[in-house]
Amino acid sequence: MSAPISPADQLAAFTLATAGFASRYGEGGFEPMNDATLAVRLEMALGLFGGRSGPDGMYISYKGAGLKIWISRGMLNPYRMTPTVQGMKTVRLARQVYGIADPDDRQLALF
Is the CB of residue 81 less than 8 Å from the CB of residue 61? no
**Domain span holding position 42:** 7-98
* Residue 49 forms part of a structural domain: yes
Mean pLDDT on 78-107: 89
Residue 11: half-sphere exposure toward Cβ, Cα within 13 Å: 7
Using DSSP, state whether 68 is helix, strand or coil.
Answer: strand
CB atoms within 10 A of CB 11: 13
Is the CB of residue 11 less than 8 Å from the CB of residue 77? no
Is the CB of residue 57 less than 8 Å from the CB of residue 41? no
pLDDT of residue 104: 83
pLDDT of residue 94: 95
pLDDT of residue 39: 96
pLDDT of residue 42: 95
Is the CB of residue 41 less than 8 Å from the CB of residue 25? yes
* Residue 104 forms part of a structural domain: no
Q: How many domains does the chain have?
A: 1
- The model's pLDDT over 36-90, given as tens digits with 9 standing for 90+, comes to 999 999 999 998 888 887 666 789 999 999 999 999 887 777 778 899 999 999 9
Indicate yes or no: pTM above 0.75. Answer: yes
